[in-house]
Amino acid sequence: NAGVTQTPKFRVLKTGQSMTLLCAQDMNHEYMYWYRQDPGMGLRLIHYSVGEGTTAKGEVPDGYNVSRLKKQNFLLGLESAAPSQTSVYFCASSALQSGSNQPQHFGDGTRLSIL
Amino acid sequence: AQKVTQAQTEISVVEKEDVTLDCVYETRDTTYYLFWYKQPPSGELVFLIRRNSFDEQNEISGRYSWNFQKSTSSFNFTITASQVVDSAVYFCALSEELNTGNQFYFGTGTSLTVIP
């Protein structure tokens, strides 16, 4: 059972380059999320999605775009990478259950360095 | 304002000691959920426990126990007889019933080192 899978696991980019991080979940979850983790700052929500075809901004959305064309996939794009976007990125998903907020399940992370 | 505060940035204990990780939260909702996650050195985030705001019973799972106190808005995590494998960063998180999409607010984490 794969759960939440992120690709790639590592990537080095030059300033100004673009790239897309892919997140796939096989648990049929409605909700998906992208976070970044920086030292001393915990996990900060970039964007999230409450269902196929819908996305919304989180706490730190600037410089990122997302798409959820299929329920199982959630893509995070960097159009013009900046050194400030050097971070570890986590994707997560959770089930929709009315009246009971469920745990989020996380991928293993993508370590991204922008030079 | 920070919704979840983990004031302890780093803690070191000697193996077999007990250790408590503090978590203080802030919310105006009457229904909310609290979570703890573990992030070992390998980097993945592992779900440990979920507690809803109507259930104030303490919970024990092996060497782990959780103390939820609404009066002090705290959800503390105790590891009894710590082991080297407990070395990790631990995150506390809050999810409010009325927020859209089950968004979590994470604390900044407590890094626990268990010294053999």
- pLDDT tens digits, one per residue of B48-88: 999 999 988 888 889 999 999 999 999 999 999 999 999 99
CB contact under 8 A, B43 and A88: yes
Q: Does A108 touch chain B (CB under 8 A)?
A: yes
Per-residue pLDDT reduced to its tens digit, B17-29: 999 999 999 999 9
CB contact under 8 A, A31 and B101: yes
Q: Which among B74, B93, B31 is positioned nearest to A94, based on CA atoms?
A: B93
| Encoded tokens for B5 | 């505060």
Whether the CB-CB separation of A72 and A18 falls below 8 Å is answered with no
CA distances from B49 to A74, A104, A110, B12, B98 (A): 26, 11, 25, 23, 20
Question: Which of A88, A104, A108, A112 to mutate against chain B (most B CBs within 10 Å)?
Answer: A104
Q: Which among B34, B70, B73 is positioned nearest to B51, based on CA atoms?
A: B34
Nearest-CA distance B82 → chain A (Å): 23
Answer yes or no: is pLDDT of A96 > 90.
Answer: no
Q: What percent of chain A has pLDDT over 70?
A: 99
Q: Does A102 touch chain B (CB under 8 A)?
A: yes
Per-residue pLDDT reduced to its tens digit, A59-75: 999 999 999 999 999 99
Position B101 scores a pLDDT of: 84
Position A101 scores a pLDDT of: 83
Spatial distance between the Cα atoms of A34 and B110, rounded to a whole number of angstroms: 22
Q: What is the mean pLDDT of chain A?
A: 94
Q: Is B108 exposed, middle or buried (0-12, 13-18, 19+ CB in 10 A)?
A: buried
Interface of A with B in 31-90 (CB under 8 A): 31, 33, 40-45, 48-50, 56, 58, 88, 90
B→A contacts (Cβ < 8 Å), by residue, are: 9, 32-33, 35, 37, 43-45, 47, 50, 52, 91, 95, 97, 100-104, 106-109
Position B1 scores a pLDDT of: 61
Nearest-CA distance A6 → chain B (Å): 12
Q: What is the mean pLDDT of chain B?
A: 93
Whether the CB-CB separation of B11 and B112 falls below 8 Å is answered with yes
Taking residues A47-58, report their average pLDDT: 94
Q: Which chain A residue shows the shortest CA-CA distance from B111?
A: A40
Answer yes or no: is pLDDT of A1 > 80.
Answer: no
Q: Which chain B residue shows the shortest CA-CA distance from A49?
A: B101
